[in-house]
Structure 1
Amino acid sequence: MTSSSFQFKQFTIQQDRCAMKVGTDGVLLGAWTRINSDTRRILDVGSGTGLIALIMAQRCPEAEIDGVELDPEAFEQGVENFEQSPWKLNLFNYHCSFQEFAEEIEDNYDLIMSNPPFFNHGDRPENSRKMARDFSSLPLESLVKGAHQLLSKNGRLALILPIEQEEQLLEITNKYGFGVSYLTKVRGTAQSPIKRILVEFSRLAPINRAQKPQVQELIIEHQRHQYTKEYRELVGEFYLKM
């Protein structure tokens, strides 16, 4: 394995042409998101290398899974990774912005997932890596609005974001009629602050706002490279050395 590729148990990610490499956030979202009997069509927004889509293909091999990616190099590499996987017949990549995709596609999805951009700089990003992480390429409201348009009646939206964006995210999702079903707050260690939130939204989550969503906490490590049991159980079926 080199920095240009990352080997998982059942698939390989080539990433030499992608600004954003394989990281903990994408693996966490793919492993954490619930799958049920209604999960037949899945969309990965900002699919990049195709990591999240491929994790979902491993977990749900009968599902039809689409990716949508704006950056041309990342799009091509995502296609390459899909084609080299055991699930290539169920995977398809679209090259366009999510905003365009949401306006043009007539199909509905049972599950939409995204590890979206999280920098909020005033200026446009100067290179691919900045674009991949900058809000200007996909504002949160555009992501939620598009999900509102594309999700089926019982569809779900699953995201991973920095904890600092939780309040903004909840305001936007409430505006479009989504409620939180599941929320997991992620710490690096027991002593470190919460850095990320994993959150699942549904149109049906809960109509009675007095009913609180399921909230949990996930700690990744006891100390450097000594992973907690909960983290190993969550991601162990994907990483080679876990």
Structure 2
Amino acid sequence: MSLFKFKEFTIAQDKCAQKIGTDGVLLGAWAAPYKEPHTILDIGSGTGVISLMLAQRYHRANIEAIEIDQDAYEQAAENFENSPWGDRLFCFHAEFQEFYEEVEERYDLIISNPPFYDSSSVKTDSQIEEKRQQARFDDALPFEELVYGVYQLLDIDGTFACIIPKDRETRFLEITSHFQLEPVRTTYVKGTVDSKVKRCLMEFRFRESVKENNSKNLVSELVIEKARHDYTEDYKSLTKDFYLKM
């Protein structure tokens, strides 16, 4: 079995097309809603790593996760059950579109490491790649559907956190603005100091809440490595509560 050990929990990932990656761990460590969340929703949970990181960080939060792929759903549920916080974690096997049409709950924090390749991108026909493609391409959950669902489910003072590619930031901001969501924190992620920005870590709140609290968009930059496997102090500080060797 393929296991990934963190300081306080272990992830089995042998059934998942998308293995533990930097994006998910970054988001789980970085997200910091302005009020402590008691209800959290993780959209597209995969292995469940983000949910588990948030369970470790927020001791009073109940966390629900959604996963469309049967194998990944079973793996996330198993990882939840085997963690120290199994009583606060629950995974649904469902499409997000189906979920937000049926659920009436509002969440303090909604978080997602969404499929991020545009559906117009070239895909391979290999059956071996099929599930990995589903996890990475946005046919099953386009950004418009993701943000609309967040609009339906987020508490008026809640926070939506996600990680997206830099080259899709402009379009994503158009969609979030349409649904009354304003960026309140943005961190641009670079592999090394000389490389281009690859990812955007972003937090949003409803426009009404932003105005009431006079919030501004706090913009920063995070560089991951000084050299190969030589991590920056910022990256080590962000992930030290989770990675074994940080």
Query: For this structure pair, what is the TM-score category when the shorter chain's length is used for normalisation?
Result: over 0.9
Q: What secondary structure does 2:211 align onto?
A: coil
Match of 2:74 in 1: 76
**Separation in structure 1 between the aligned mates of residue 187 and residue 83 of structure 2, nearest angstrom:** 30
> Equivalent pairs: percent with the same residue?
49
1:176 aligned partner, one-letter code: F
**Separation in structure 1 between the aligned mates of residue 47 and residue 210 of structure 2, nearest angstrom:** 34
Q: How is 1:177-188 mapped onto 2 (pairs within 5 angstroms)? A: 177-188=180-191
Match of 2:174 in 1: 171
1:67-112 superposed Cα distances (whole Å, 9 cap, x missing partner): 0000000000000000000000000000000010000011110000
Match of 1:160 in 2: 163
Say which is worse superposed, 30-39 or 219-228, in terms of deviation. Answer: 30-39
Q: Does 1:213 align with 2:217?
A: yes
> Does the CA contact (< 8 Å) of 2:12 and 2:79 recur in 1?
yes
**Separation in structure 2 between the aligned mates of residue 181 and residue 37 of structure 1, nearest angstrom:** 13
**Separation in structure 2 between the aligned mates of residue 236 and residue 211 of structure 1, nearest angstrom:** 28
> Does the CA contact (< 8 Å) of 2:48 and 2:76 recur in 1?
yes
Match of 2:134 in 1: 131
Change (3 A) 1:78 1:212: same
Q: How is 1:87-102 mapped onto 2 (pairs within 5 angstroms)? A: 87-102=85-100
**1:5 Cα deviation from its structure 2 partner:** 1.2
> Does the CA contact (< 8 Å) of 2:116 and 2:138 recur in 1?
yes
Unaligned runs of 5+ in 1: none
Q: Does 1:147 align with 2:145?
A: no
1:214 aligned partner, one-letter code: L
TM-score w.r.t. the length of structure 2 is 0.93
Match of 2:25 in 1: 27
Q: Does 1:15 align with 2:13?
A: yes
1:26-77 superposed Cα distances (whole Å, 9 cap, x missing partner): 0000000004544100000000100000000000121000000000000000
**Separation in structure 2 between the aligned mates of residue 145 and residue 213 of structure 1, nearest angstrom:** 21
Q: What secondary structure does 2:221 align onto?
A: strand
**1:121 Cα deviation from its structure 2 partner:** 3.2
1:143-170 superposed Cα distances (whole Å, 9 cap, x missing partner): 0000000011101110001101100100
- Decide which of 191, 199, 204 is 1:196's aligned counterpart: 199
Q: Does 1:234 align with 2:225?
A: no
1:100-150 superposed Cα distances (whole Å, 9 cap, x missing partner): 000001111000000000112338885100000011011001000000000
**Separation in structure 1 between the aligned mates of residue 113 and residue 99 of structure 2, nearest angstrom:** 17
> Does the CA contact (< 8 Å) of 2:33 and 2:159 recur in 1?
no
Match of 1:65 in 2: 63
**1:187 Cα deviation from its structure 2 partner:** 0.3
TM-score w.r.t. the length of structure 1 is 0.95
**1:20 Cα deviation from its structure 2 partner:** 0.4
> Does the CA contact (< 8 Å) of 1:29 and 1:160 recur in 2?
yes
